[in-house]
Amino acid sequence: MRQHRQPAQLRPISFQSDFTKFSTSSVLTHCGDTQVLCTVSIEPSVPKFLKGTGTGWLTAEYRMLPGATPQRHEREVLKLSGRTQEIQRLIGRSLRSTLDFAILGEKTILVDADVLQADAGTRTTAITGGYVALVQAIQRLIDRGELSASPIVRQVAAVSVGLVKGQAFLDLDYPEDVAADVDFNVVMTDN
């Protein structure tokens, strides 16, 4: 276990911007062997409960491609698993914590996190990569004159932590994750 990393050492993380062409922004995020494509789209409307309030919204969707793991798994077509729903809520809440929706105005930000390859840490990679894609999308709205100021009021990132045979490990990969007695995700803003 951890042949090349210290217990508190993160896996290498990188961000490849503009990975796709048509969304407002896209970032392919690598965290070790985990790869998550995070895209951000902006709609000029809000859900019914926010109409007329002058404030915006952010929602997130998360999916794992069938070939993202060694054993192919079925696509979630008609009904999302509890795991997928929980991850979507976590990503959405984490990214909403960074925004002042009054500055955004009546726009909806849609963040899609698609796992291309999973070696544990997909939800934490989706949060961190989603934030990078969100920052780029907001800057594009400012550059196009659609926003006069940034609604981003704080930064956010996430990482997993676990106990394996009584020792704490940061940023678990798959072999560490399945061997962990306890593992959890830490999501923190800069404040």
What is the span of the domain harbouring residue 134? 13-68+78-154
**pLDDT score for 82:** 87
Query: How many domains is the chain built from?
Result: 1
Would 44 be classed as within a structural domain?
A: yes
Would 170 be classed as within a structural domain?
A: no
Residues 124-154 pLDDT 10s: 999 999 999 999 999 999 999 999 999 999 9
Would 22 be classed as within a structural domain?
A: yes
Residues 75-123 pLDDT 10s: 887 788 888 899 999 999 999 999 999 999 999 999 999 999 999 999 9
Residues 18-60 pLDDT 10s: 999 999 999 999 999 999 999 999 999 999 999 999 999 999 9
- For residues 153 and 58, is the Cβ–Cβ distance under 8 A? no
**pLDDT score for 74:** 84
**pLDDT score for 114:** 97
Would 173 be classed as within a structural domain?
A: no
- pLDDT, mean of residues 171-179: 92
Would 185 be classed as within a structural domain?
A: no
**pLDDT score for 71:** 87
Would 4 be classed as within a structural domain?
A: no
Would 119 be classed as within a structural domain?
A: yes
**pLDDT score for 2:** 62
One-letter amino acid at 37 equals L
Would 142 be classed as within a structural domain?
A: yes
Identify the CATH number of the domain in which residue 113 sits.
3.30.230.70
The bridge status of strand 156-164 relative to strand 167-170 is antiparallel
